[in-house]
Amino acid sequence: MRLHLAGTGGELMGREGTLPSEVHAVERELLRTLTTGAAVSAVVGLGALAVGAATTRPHATTFGRQTLAWAAIDGLIAAAGSRGVAEPPTDADDARARARRMRTLTAVNAVLDVGYVAGGVFLTRWRNPPRPTVAADGAAVILQGAFLLVLDTVHARRFAALAAR
């Protein structure tokens, strides 16, 4: 990508626009994807609960409950995050600072996501768990952790690239 100085503010321009608008676009994309993930988790969770209720399968009910809990958490995080990105960065320096903050946040979250996946794997393999449906909780945690790991890793890389400009 060729970059050039635009206007009198000395902002770096790329194909997509100014650095502040690009950082803002990636922030909004992250929140849209998290919101979509929350909605998908809610639909899957409700579906699993319905299957569990209709067939008296406690594993489906447990999976559905765990998935709905993650949907609620993701939805709350997306709602809270949307307030922080309501306005685009004011200039290139502000955009770089926001990109660095978001890079750090998403990178730390990616490490936590690995922990979620590992915890889920542990739950699915637990011998003699306190209740027989623990493996269903583990499966739901693995799926959620994997989704968040991909989301956070991709966005950490994108924010790192923007912060370096």
Report residue 101's pLDDT band, with 50, 70 and 90 as the boundaries: very high
Copy the structure tokens of residue 43: 């639909």
Number of compact structural domains in the chain? 1
Let me know if residue 63 belongs to a domain. Answer: yes
Instruction: Encode 90-103: b = buried (16+ Cβ within 10 Å), e = exposed.
Output: eebeebbebbeebb
CA 27 to chain centre: 11
Residue 9, pLDDT score: 40
Let me know if residue 27 belongs to a domain. Answer: yes
Domain of 45, in residue numbers = 17-83+90-163
Copy the structure tokens of residue 71: 């949907």
Number of H helices, E strands in the chain: 4, 2
Task: State yes or no: pLDDT of 2 exceeds 60.
Answer: no
Look up residue 83 and give its amino acid: R
Let me know if residue 3 belongs to a domain. Answer: no
Task: State yes or no: pLDDT of 1 exceeds 70.
Answer: no
Report residue 11's pLDDT band, with 50, 70 and 90 as the boundaries: very low
Let me know if residue 98 belongs to a domain. Answer: yes
Instruction: Encode 40-56: b = buried (16+ Cβ within 10 Å), e = exposed.
Output: ebbebbeebbeebeeee
- The gap between the terminal CA atoms of the chain, to the nearest Å, is 11
Let me know if residue 12 belongs to a domain. Answer: no
Let me know if residue 11 belongs to a domain. Answer: no
**DSSP letter string over 93-137?**
HHHHHHHHHHHHHHHHHHHHHHHHHHHHHHHHH-SS-SSTTHHHH
Q: pLDDT (tens digit, 9 = 90+) per residue, 39-80? A: 999 999 999 999 999 999 999 999 999 999 999 999 999 999
Give 29's contacts (C-beta < 8 A, 6+ positions apart): 155
Q: What angle do CA 142, 146, 148 make, to 5 degrees?
A: 120
Let me know if residue 127 belongs to a domain. Answer: yes
Let me know if residue 24 belongs to a domain. Answer: yes
